[in-house]
Amino acid sequence: MMRGISAAVLVLAVLSGGCATTLSKEQQATAKTLDYGGPLTIDYKQAIKDYFNAQLKDPYSARYEFENTPGRLVYKPGLWEGGGKYTRILYSGYYATVLVNAKNSFGAYIGAVRYGFLFKNNEIIRVFSQADSGAFYYPDADKNVLS
């Protein structure tokens, strides 16, 4: 029985490790010419809070910690999102991250959770959670995080 469980864990580890999504060199070069929409002219912090006001059970309890000012980002969906090694789908826009801590149904804070918001033409086009498995490419950065 233990051998079967160990084998299953090994298979899952190999499969999930082999699913890492990255941008090809061609896609990285293309990233410089994509349409990101105009720079944000809205209060992006308020737009994010408005998003959570509609999502949270107790939106008034939410505590926000904004981690960056929005910068350009290209996102390539991961395998679990219909992306993967051969996908040509790329999302581009301005990206901001925020830690959100809010109360659950029992009135207890759940702990800070990181979310990412991709804006294009002053609208949220995609929301990321810690579970997203795609590749994040920052065309204006010296070093990039490809997850």
101 in a domain, yes or no?
yes
- pLDDT tens column, 102-131: 999 999 999 999 999 999 999 999 999 877
Better-predicted residue by pLDDT, 54 or 7: 54
Structure tokens at 141: 């950065």
Look at residue 7 and tell me if it is in a domain: no
pLDDT digits (tens, 9 = 90+) for 23-41: 778 878 888 889 999 999 9
Contacts 24+ apart (CB under 8 A), 78-82: 78/19, 78/21, 78/132, 78/133, 78/134, 78/135, 79/19, 79/21, 79/133, 80/19, 80/133, 81/132, 81/133, 81/134
Does residue 16 form part of some domain? no
pLDDT over 70 percentage in the chain: 75
pTM for the predicted model, two decimal places:
0.77
Please report whether residue 68 resides in a domain: yes
Q: Which two tokens stand for residue 132?
A: 């997203």
Structural domain includes residue 15: no
Looking at residue 18, its pLDDT comes to: 38
* Beta strands, E only, the chain: 63-66, 71-76, 91-101, 113-120, 123-128, 135-137
Domain-located, residue 8: no
User: Is residue 3 domain-resident?
Assistant: no
Domain count, the chain: 1
